[in-house]
Amino acid sequence: MEKAIKLMMCSDKTIKAFVNDEEKHTIEAQNRSISADKIYEVIGFEIGNRYTVCSENTANVDAQVLEFFTELLKDIVEKVNAIGETAETEDVIESNSSFD
């Protein structure tokens, strides 16, 4: 399943995280942090899913901050996608090599 993660910078400088257009988390302007647990929860990692990340900043505020979080999630998603691909490959190898 494809999962599109979008980070959107709002005019009040909060960052909203959406997965497939469903709002999952808000990073407040006063506390620009997100835990690893929260990232995992937002992504909703499942073997077989394929993740992409994009960002939107129509208000054109705090572009560097949005870019930082976007790049962070892109790095994480790249690794998560690789894990998923490896797991799927191993499942295929196991099913092809099972002896009855």
Spell out the per-residue pLDDT of the chain, length 100, in tens. Answer: 899 999 999 999 999 999 999 999 999 999 999 999 999 899 888 888 999 999 999 999 999 999 999 999 999 999 999 987 776 655 555 555 555 5
pTM above 0.85, yes or no: no
Give the residue carrying structure tokens 């997100």. 34
Burial state string for 42-61 with b = 16 or more CB within 10 A and e = fewer than 16: bbebeeeeebebebebeeee
